[in-house]
Amino acid sequence: EVQLVESGGGLVKPGGSLRLSCAASGFTFSSYSMNWVRQAPGKGLEWVSSISSSSSYIYYADSVKGRFTISRDNAKNSLYLQMNSLRAEDTAVYYCARDNDIVVVVAAFDYWGQGTLVTVSS
Amino acid sequence: QSVLTQPPSASGTPGQRVTISCSGSSSNIGSNTVNWYQQLPGTAPKLLIYSNNQRPSGVPDRFSGSKSGTSASLAISGLQSEDEADYYCAAWDDSLNGRVFGTGTKVTVL
């Protein structure tokens, strides 16, 4: 059974940093591209970042470019999101999600974690 | 910063057919495939339709997707109470070089 479990969320002050993790199991992690998607309280879904299976291709939403860094450790079956210079508008539930295709332009997010809440507030 | 536009709400009685539209542009829907997600209250999103009209295993055939030009649609036939949820379309955007989601549509079963 495919499982994605996020951790690392919490309360952080504006300008602070936080590192999210996503532990994957039930599939060959090193074969799949992975993603972070967030959802602000009461709002819609927003794609944050994607990383290919071997980390060769990385993409970011303009809203986080230069502040967030996506990475993965295939030996540990883990996905990460390093978030720096956090702002109030980064407050959201952050989900990790798996791509169902190696071609990024056609891929869909076929499995999602339960999410971890990040709150940016003084 | 959603670039895909959906109606905020849609509704129907049990057994009815409900259709949700998703309007984009040539850089996203016009040139790439569309996926649809269902988010039940308080839960993580779930993949409902991929590659415009393909259903993952386990998704009832009451759900169907289509695409024409720079727009896409999700249809729910034989509406059931458990279909009450938020629905989002998504696609790759060539101009933004990233994924984009629709604004979301809340479906209410009357």
DSSP-assigned states of every residue in B9-56: EEEE-TT--EEEEEE--TTTTTTS-EEEEEE-TTS--EEEEBTTTBPP
Chain B interface residues (partner A, CB cutoff 8 A): 1-2, 32-33, 35, 37, 39, 44-47, 50-51, 56, 86, 88, 90, 92, 94, 96-104
- The C-alpha torsion from B27 through B30 and B31 to B36, rounded to 10°, is 100
Query: Chains A, B: CB contacts under 8 A, how many?
Result: 71
Average confidence (pLDDT) over B30-43: 97
> What residues in chain A have per-residue pLDDT under 70?
none
Residue B56 DSSP symbol:
P
With pLDDT > 90 as the criterion, what percentage of chain B qualifies? 97
Nearest to B99 among A50, A111, A114 (CB): A50
- Give the per-residue pLDDT at A22: 98
- Give the per-residue pLDDT at A49: 98
Nearest to B50 among A45, A61, A108 (CB): A108
Q: With residue B85 as reference, give the H or E element that holds it.
A: strand B85-93
Average pLDDT, chain B: 97
- Give the per-residue pLDDT at B1: 59
Task: Answer yes or no: is pLDDT of B2 > 90.
Answer: no
- Give the per-residue pLDDT at A115: 98
B38-71: per-residue pLDDT in tens? 999 999 999 999 999 999 999 999 999 999 999 9
